[in-house]
Chain A
Amino acid sequence: MTNEYESNITVTDLDTAQPGTSADEVVIAVSPAFGTKIKKSIIDIGLDKILKELCAGIEEEGMKYRFIKVYNSTDLAIIASQGSKLSGSGICVGLQSRGTTVIHQRDLVPLDNLELFPQSPLYDEKIYRKIGKNAAKYAKGENPEPVEILNDYMVPSKYLVKSTLLHFKEGEMMDKTKKAVNVDIQF
Chain B
Amino acid sequence: MKRSKRFEKLEQMPINKDGFSYEWVDVGLVAMESPNDPKPSIRIENGRIVEMDGKERKDFDSLDRFIADYGINVAEAERSMSIDSLEIARMLVDIHVSRQEIVKICSGCTPAKLVEVINHLNVVEMMMAQMKMRARKTPANQAHATNLDDNPVLIAADAAEEALRGFAEVETTCALARYAPFNAIALMLGAQTGKAGVLNQCSMEEATELELGMRGFTSYAETLSVYGTETVLIDGGDTAYSKAFLASAYASRGIKIRFTSGTGSEVLMGNAEQKSMLYLEVRCLYLTKACGVQGIQNGSINAIPLVAALPNGFRAIAAENLIASMLNIEVAAGNDTAFTHSDFRRGVKLAMQFMPGTDYITSGYGGIPNLDNVFAGSNEDCDDYDDWYVLQRDMKVDGGIKPIREEEAIAVRNKAARVCQTVFRYLGLPEITDEEVEAATYAYCYKDMPPRNKAEDMKAATDMMKRGITGFDIVKGLYENGFEDVAERIMNMLKQRVIGDYLHTSSVLDENFRVKSAINDQNDYMGPGTGYRLSDERWAELKEKFNALKPQDV
At the interface, yes or no: B206 with Cβ under 8 Å from chain A? yes
Asked whether B207 lies within 8 Å of A154 as measured between CB atoms, the reply is no
Instruction: Kindly list chain A residues whose C-beta atoms are within 8 Å of the C-beta of B378.
Output: 153
Q: Interface size for chain B: under 10, 10 to 19, 20 to 34, or 35 or more residues?
A: 35 or more
A sample of 5 inter-chain contacts (CB < 8 A) reads A110-B237, A112-B207, A151-B175, A156-B302, A160-B306
Asked whether A153 lies within 8 Å of B371 as measured between CB atoms, the reply is yes
Binary contact readout B163-178 vs A (1 if CB under 8 angstroms, 0 otherwise): 0000000000001111
Given A145-B454, A161-B21, 6 other A-B residues pairs in contact with their CB atoms under 8 A:
A145-B455, A151-B372, A157-B305, A158-B18, A160-B268, A168-B270
At the interface, yes or no: A53 with Cβ under 8 Å from chain B? no
Asked whether A155 lies within 8 Å of B19 as measured between CB atoms, the reply is no
Q: Which residues of A contact B (CB under 8 A)?
A: 73-75, 78, 109-116, 118-119, 143-146, 149, 151, 153-162, 164, 167-168, 170-171
Instruction: Kindly list chain B residues whose C-beta atoms are within 8 Å of the C-beta of A160.
Output: 19, 268, 303, 305-306, 309
Asked whether A157 lies within 8 Å of B17 as measured between CB atoms, the reply is yes
Asked whether B373 lies within 8 Å of A151 as measured between CB atoms, the reply is yes
| Known contacts A73-B235, A111-B205, A170-B270, A146 near B376 by CB under 8 Å | no
Which of B120-128, B332-340, B426-434 has 4 or more CB atoms under 8 Å from chain A?
B332-340
* B409 CB to nearest chain A CB (Å): 23
A157 in complex: contacting residue of B19, B29, B149, B206, CB < 8 Å:
B19
Q: Give the most central of A74, A110, A113, A164: most B CB within 10 Å.
A: A164
* A26 CB to nearest chain B CB (Å): 19
Asked whether A159 lies within 8 Å of B376 as measured between CB atoms, the reply is no
A146 in complex: contacting residue of B29, B235, B377, B455, CB < 8 Å:
B455
Q: Which residues of B contact A (CB under 8 A)?
A: 17-21, 27, 29, 148-149, 175-178, 205-208, 235-237, 267-271, 302-303, 305-306, 309, 337-341, 370-374, 376-378, 453-455, 458-459
| Known contacts A146-B176, A153-B371, A158-B19, A112 near B205 by CB under 8 Å | yes
Asked whether B459 lies within 8 Å of A168 as measured between CB atoms, the reply is no
Report the bound CA distance from A144 to B453 in whole Å. 10
Report the bound CA distance from A62 to B435 in whole Å. 39
Asked whether A168 lies within 8 Å of B454 as measured between CB atoms, the reply is no
Report the bound CA distance from A144 to B20 in whole Å. 41
Chain B residue nearest in CB terms to A171? B270
Instruction: Kindly list chain A residues whose C-beta atoms are within 8 Å of the C-beta of B27.
Output: 168
Instruction: Kindly list chain A residues whose C-beta atoms are within 8 Å of the C-beta of B340.
Output: 157
| Known contacts A110-B237, A149-B148, A168-B27, A161 near B176 by CB under 8 Å | no
A149 in complex: contacting residue of B175, B208, B271, CB < 8 Å:
B175
Report the bound CA distance from A110 to B341 in whole Å. 34
Instruction: Kindly list chain B residues whose C-beta atoms are within 8 Å of the C-beta of A151.
Output: 148, 175, 371-374, 376-377
Enumerate the 3 nearest inter-chain pairs by beta-carbon distance, A residue then B residue, closest first.
A153-B377, A160-B305, A111-B205
| Known contacts A156-B338, A158-B17, A164 near B267 by CB under 8 Å | yes
A112 in complex: contacting residue of B208, B269, B373, B453, CB < 8 Å:
B208
Chain B residue nearest in CB terms to A150? B148
Asked whether A157 lies within 8 Å of B338 as measured between CB atoms, the reply is yes
Q: Give the most central of A109, A113, A116, A146: most B CB within 10 Å.
A: A146
Report the bound CA distance from A112 to B211 in whole Å. 14
Asked whether B149 lies within 8 Å of A149 as measured between CB atoms, the reply is yes
| Known contacts A112-B205, A151-B371, A164-B306, A74 near B19 by CB under 8 Å | no
Chain B residue nearest in CB terms to A153? B377
A116 in complex: contacting residue of B18, B177, B267, B306, CB < 8 Å:
B177
Report the bound CA distance from A132 to B446 in whole Å. 26
Asked whether B149 lies within 8 Å of A109 as measured between CB atoms, the reply is no
Instruction: Kindly list chain B residues whose C-beta atoms are within 8 Å of the C-beta of A162.
Output: 19
Chain A residue nearest in CB terms to B231? A176
Asked whether A154 lies within 8 Å of B455 as measured between CB atoms, the reply is no
Instruction: Kindly list chain A residues whose C-beta atoms are within 8 Å of the C-beta of B271.
Output: 171
* A146 CB to nearest chain B CB (Å): 5
Instruction: Kindly list chain A residues whose C-beta atoms are within 8 Å of the C-beta of B270.
Output: 74, 167-168, 170-171
